[in-house]
Amino acid sequence: MSTEGQLPAQQPSGEDTVLSAGARIAMQWRDLGAEQLGAALRAMEPELRREHRQRMAQLEFQREENQRQHVERQQQRADRRRTIELTVGAVIALAMLGGGIYVAPESWWLSTLLCGPSLLALAKVFVLGRSDPDDMKAVAGASRLSTNAAGQAQPPQPPPVA
């Protein structure tokens, strides 16, 4: 059985360009001798190197583009989160101020809890994204003073009936 002029039963995959180029050349030049085939392969080597460099440059460009898009998406998420945090902080602060003003005529002590250091501490958490132990001490002290004062205060007198 002669192996000369026969191709392997399994063709190389298209992903390996060197082998597929070699197989194409072997199919085209199978009737030529080994010397002519070697010369053809050596002639194709610079072209294959150029293609390889070009493919590597494309892959590097694609990797850099993917990296840039990833960083961009992270920045957009961070900006969106920051905007949401500021919006929620503003809504809560306005609600606490409105509630404090609304309850001030009947329960001044509750108004001091809503509009005092707790409002500032909560706004600091949402706007700056941090909370200090001193903030919580101030909130606890203010709430303690307000509840103590409310316990000592006399109930309001009903309006006179005319």
The CB-side HSE value for 72 (13 A sphere, CA atoms) comes to 6
pLDDT, residue 80, reads: 96
C-alpha 91, offset from chain centre: 25
* pTM score over 0.75: no
Give the separation between CA 136 and CA 117, rounded to whole angstroms: 9
How many residues belong to the chain? Answer: 162
Residue type, 102: Y
How many degrees, rounded to 5, is the angle at CA 74 between CA 124 and CA 79?
Answer: 40
DSSP character at residue 5: T
CA distances (Å), 41 to each of 34, 38, 47, 121, in order? 10, 5, 10, 76
Give the separation between CA 153 and CA 66, rounded to whole angstroms: 66
pLDDT, residue 31, reads: 72
β strands within 54-96, DSSP E: none
| Residue among 106, 109, 107 nearest 145 (CA) | 109
Give the separation between CA 151 and CA 120, rounded to whole angstroms: 25
**Segments in the chain below pLDDT 70:** 1-15, 25-26, 29, 37, 135-136, 142-143, 146-160, 162
pLDDT, residue 25, reads: 66
DSSP character at residue 159: P
